[in-house]
């Protein structure tokens, strides 16, 4: 017998644009107490959460990937769990499994770490594709199926996955279907010298390793922010701009496989969340441009003969942003 997914919580009431922007700004300020000098990538991560998407943070070890996930969980007040992806990790280690209760003579379902508001999938590319694929249903449908029974996941539910560069020993490349489930792929890069010194100085000043951040909202507050995103208007010209950018990647000379229609949708959804963070209830083309590389680059496969060159998904996105005409729009969808 199949168990129905957990019923959705009551519909959240959207916030006013300025109130939503103020809360988003305070969330980013608090997270930046731990993750120093990375305002732009942190803004993208928050935009993905507000757009009900998932984020792949791909960068070198030691640049704050895991710290980012923990910090957002603390500040957003979401239930947090961490799954350390290793070569011997099994799908049941993520989703959970049925265990036999001898006293009752029945099987009980023991939920895995995936049943959390925010799941940190740490070093996701260190586990084989079979285990990676265990996340596909959860990320797309917000549910998991174990031995024919379906269990709904919490709302909100977000996966923040970290990955080391594929050149590192012991990594498995993420399959295209897995990459396509991530709304954004974000890289942090090395901090500036001043920011790096700030990290050192803060650690010395607090006299302990752990940093405790203030909780600024909770699950209902996150749902309210997500409901605010759903109220954001996007003009037809801007929507067609999203489609034109995704379409242009499919005909680019360096591309073997371009962005799918999910890329167009991802641009529109993330741009709406970015507009909320900026205090607007409408999308402008600059919102789309700000998120385009993070939304589209990981959905593009470059031709194999170009692997040893500078050609990449990011360079393709930068090129189409230069070539696709930017729509001329008024300040807002109704001219305000």
81-120 confidence digits (pLDDT tens): 999 988 888 888 999 988 888 888 888 888 999 999 999 9
> Where does the pLDDT of residue 79 fall: very low under 50, low under 70, confident under 90, or very high at 90 and above?
very high
Same domain flag for 36 and 164: yes
Same domain flag for 195 and 90: yes
Residues 163-206 have pLDDT tens digits of: 877 555 667 777 788 888 899 999 988 989 999 999 999 989 98
Same domain flag for 183 and 217: yes
pLDDT at residue 318 in the model: 95
Better-predicted residue by pLDDT, 210 or 23:
23
Statement: residue 72 has pLDDT above 60: yes
DSSP-derived pairing of the beta strands 149-152 and 143-146: antiparallel
Decide if 258 contacts 300 (C-beta within 8 A): yes
Same domain flag for 59 and 194: yes
End-to-end Cα separation, the chain, in angstroms: 54
Report yes or no on 4 lying in a domain: no
How many structural domains does the chain have?
A: 2
Give the relative orientation of helices 236-250 and 261-277 as an angle to the nearest 10 degrees. Answer: 140
Nearest CA to 51 out of 299, 289, 232 is that of: 232
Same domain flag for 270 and 313: yes
Same domain flag for 162 and 260: no
Residue 186 maps to which CATH number?
Answer: 3.40.50.300
Same domain flag for 289 and 145: no
Of 191-195, 252-256, 266-270, 306-310, where does mean pLDDT reach its minimum? 306-310
> Pick from 174, 193, 221: which residue ends a domain?
221
Residues 284-315 have pLDDT tens digits of: 999 999 999 999 999 999 998 887 888 888 99
Report yes or no on 47 lying in a domain: yes
> Pick from 201, 221, 241: which residue ends a domain?
221
> Pick from 199, 221, 243: which residue ends a domain?
221
Taking CA atoms, 229 is separated from 13, 20, 26, 186, in Å, by 11, 9, 17, 21
Same domain flag for 43 and 143: yes
**Domain containing 243: what range?**
232-323
How much is the pTM? Answer: 0.90
Residue 297 maps to which CATH number?
Answer: 1.10.8.80
pLDDT at residue 179 in the model: 86
């Amino acid at each position: 017998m199949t168990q129905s997914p957990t019923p959705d919580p009551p519909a959240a009431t959207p916030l006013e644009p300025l109130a939503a922007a103020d809360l988003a700004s305070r969330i980013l300020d608090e997270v930046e107490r731990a993750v120093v000098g990375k305002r732009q990538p942190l803004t993208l991560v928050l935009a993905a959460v507000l757009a009900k998407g998932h984020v792949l943070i791909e960068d070198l070890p030691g640049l704050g990937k895991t710290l980012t996930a923990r910090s957002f969980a603390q500040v957003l007040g979401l239930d947090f769990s961490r799954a350390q992806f290793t070569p011997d990790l099994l799908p049941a280690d993520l989703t959970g499994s049925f265990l036999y209760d001898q006293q009752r003579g029945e099987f009980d379902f023991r939920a895995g770490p995936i049943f959390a508001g925010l799941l940190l999938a740490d070093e996701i590319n260190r586990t084989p594709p079979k285990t990676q694929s265990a996340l596909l249903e959860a990320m797309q449908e917000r549910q998991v199926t174990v031995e024919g029974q379906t269990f709904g996941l919490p709302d909100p539910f977000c996966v923040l996955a970290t990955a080391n560069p594929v050149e590192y020993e012991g990594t498995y490349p993420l399959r295209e279907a897995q990459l396509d489930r991530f709304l954004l792929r974000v890289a942090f890069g090395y901090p500036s010298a001043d920011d790096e010194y700030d990290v050192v100085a803060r650690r010395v000043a607090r006299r302990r390793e752990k940093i405790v951040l203030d909780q600024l909202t909770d699950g209902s507050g996150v749902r309210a922010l997500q409901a605010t995103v759903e109220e954001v208007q996007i003009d037809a010209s801007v929507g067609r701009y999203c489609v034109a950018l995704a379409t242009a990647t499919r005909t680019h000379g360096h591309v073997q496989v371009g962005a799918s229609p999910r890329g167009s949708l991802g641009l529109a959804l993330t741009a709406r969340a970015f507009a909320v963070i900026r205090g607007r209830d409408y999308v402008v083309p600059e919102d789309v441009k700000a998120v385009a590389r993070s939304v589209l680059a990981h959905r593009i496969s470059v031709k194999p003969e170009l692997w040893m060159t500078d050609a990449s998904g990011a360079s393709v996105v930068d090129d189409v942003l230069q070539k696709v005409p930017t729509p001329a729009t008024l300040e807002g969808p109704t001219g305000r």
